[in-house]
Structure 1
């Protein structure tokens, strides 16, 4: 088989001792495998930092997860090769972003010499393109191809339905969108580029107003003046209920809580956090059009099984007339019913009422 980086990997027998180098990968693994926790000998600690309520849901559904050691303590943290070897895995699942470090490439060579197979999935760098291939990959690894394909087919069919409608619609001016990470929590403004969450803007035919100011395809910090110059007519912020003790994954703290989104967050709480954000210094300076069309997304949503529901929510925001009949909440309910052992029970997107 080939992983998402095109590496050829041979797995002679089903893995029985698995190390998740990034804990967030548990969300994709749980879609592909009906009972993944007994296989785990270690995992990253990032899921608990990004969404403690969701992590707790997994612990309640799979009590043995409490005994699985966490090999990292913060989002975006590398792991110790010695620690990994001590856990005696027969398979390590890495995330694509981890392979960008020269140290990790050396670690992979050492793991290979120890007879430990390594596969690379991706739910972060290019989540819209690689989430489904990652689920399919994990289905292959664990002999759960039919289960993985059921989710992949559902996701792809709904995504294609959105794209087909966009292509069939009369040509119109692309909405000018600003997509920024953790507004109100990090100092303004970490703006999405072409990759990561920025893929969604391109997919849905929006004009990413941050691109002319960015040095490359990835997101970067822009000044408030640059953001205002861009004159967006829709504002989309991402947020989460983060565990500050574990770190927020980067950026400078703006001293606020920012957008509250994720598992266990009520709809009113999420909406109120967005309203409060727009009252803060700086965000009050956004163009009136963007303030009227202000929306929020759970920050890691596109790397999760909820991704297709979030795409539908964004389609409604960006093209409200064309996609008025889409019901992303119903899509989320179907994902919970058919594909996830732990339901996504919370608020993963929000918007202010029109008017």
Structure 2
């Protein structure tokens, strides 16, 4: 063998050593990973052999919750409900803009528990199914979870809708364990708790609870739909206010007459909006410019004869994204409501900064749009 050939072979062996060195380690038997044990929001204990990598979402909107925990949540989803595509195209567009693979995810139901196709879920071969306790109506989440478990499909129940302030931290913990993202779930839980505690602490000893009328889907329905007890009422109370709708309505939602609104004379008026662009309501949320939201808010106030309401003439009229009723990002609107209700106590609260921090620290599908708007002259 010539000296040049020996030199070339020596170089080849040297190049291969780094690649070959790990092989003895990889050839050892891998230690078995302990199974995951999850207690969900229905009190059910679910066991998985490892973090889920194939997930069915009963409600597709909860991809936004997964995006708090995972850099590419769409890559995990093998089936979801039709609520984003069919009911909220702007939010779906924001998901698709980041993750075009969303278009290939099969629909396994519309939105409610009773439209979820068991056959399609089974065919998706998921590692786990995520159900909403709110469920969009039409069924019992725990009962459906037990039924799916009978097919050998681990199923967890979460909640960002029925009692979001209480159940969001636990739901994020459940999802974090499900995905193997416990540390990230703990970080968001700490963020959520710290923001709420700041509001609660400042309200300690405050005896005056200003009244607030929340005009739900303003302009998209007849005047005046309003939430009673439920998610929005809990936000208003946490922010230090009194919800007029909860005092009048027996259920979660109902109609409050214009005369009742004028008679009650709320201290603060808040209209909710969503994917209403060009349909008579207030456009709010993903992709909406602030000027568009304010234009729509003014139009609704005029159409529904609310322009003379003292809260409006006094600069205490606002608009917010209706989607806060089913997302862990609701901390933004609790801050906005606190500032609107108690502008002196919470003058330093900045919901826009909270939105920016959520985008920077957590959300792989960022919230980019208008989620809260103040009529010019407002104090919130």
Partner of 2:365: 342
The farther-off stretch of 113-122 and 287-296 is: 287-296
Q: Determine the C-alpha separation between the residues in 2 that align with 1:147 and 1:13.
A: 17
Partner of 1:81: 118
- The residue correspondences of 1:251-266 to structure 2 (distance < 5 A) are 256-266=279-289
Q: Determine the C-alpha separation between the residues in 1 that align with 2:192 and 2:140.
A: 35
Structure 1 position 148, deviation (Å): 1.1
Q: Determine the C-alpha separation between the residues in 1 that align with 2:291 and 2:62.
A: 29
Partner of 1:298: 321
Structure 1 position 101, deviation (Å): 4.1
Superposed CA offset, 1:127-179 (max 9, x none): 222222211110011111001111111121111111111115xx342111111
Q: Return the TM-score normalized by structure 2.
A: 0.82
**Structure with higher RCO (Cα < 8 A, 6+ apart):** 1
**Aligned pair 1:97/2:134, yes or no?**
yes
Partner of 2:228: 193
Aligned partners of 1:233 and 1:287 also within 8 Å: no
Partner of 2:267: 233
Compute the RMSD of aligned alpha carbons: 2.3
Rg larger in structure: 2
Q: Determine the C-alpha separation between the residues in 2 that align with 1:133 and 1:197.
A: 19
Q: Would you say how many aligned residue pairs link Structure 1 and Structure 2?
A: 340
Partner of 2:16: none
Partner of 1:109: 146
Partner of 1:180: 215
Superposed CA offset, 1:93-134 (max 9, x none): 000012964476554333111100110111222222222221
Partner of 2:31: none
Structure 1 position 212, deviation (Å): 2.7
- The residue correspondences of 1:118-137 to structure 2 (distance < 5 A) are 118-137=155-174
Structure 1 position 305, deviation (Å): 4.4
3-state SS, counterpart of residue 10 of structure 1: strand
Give the 3 Å change call, closer, same or farther, for CA 76–99 of structure 1 in structure 2.
closer
**Aligned pair 1:148/2:185, yes or no?**
yes
**Aligned pair 1:162/2:203, yes or no?**
no
Structure 1 position 353, deviation (Å): 1.4
Give the 3 Å change call, closer, same or farther, for CA 135–270 of structure 1 in structure 2.
same
Give the 3 Å change call, closer, same or farther, for CA 338–304 of structure 1 in structure 2.
same
**Aligned pair 1:309/2:335, yes or no?**
no
Q: Determine the C-alpha separation between the residues in 1 that align with 2:317 and 2:113.
A: 28
Partner of 1:321: 344
Unaligned runs of 5+ in 2: 1-37
Of the three residues 24, 40, 51, the one matched with 1:3 is 40
Q: Return the TM-score normalized by structure 1.
A: 0.88
Partner of 1:54: 91
Structure 1 position 45, deviation (Å): 1.8
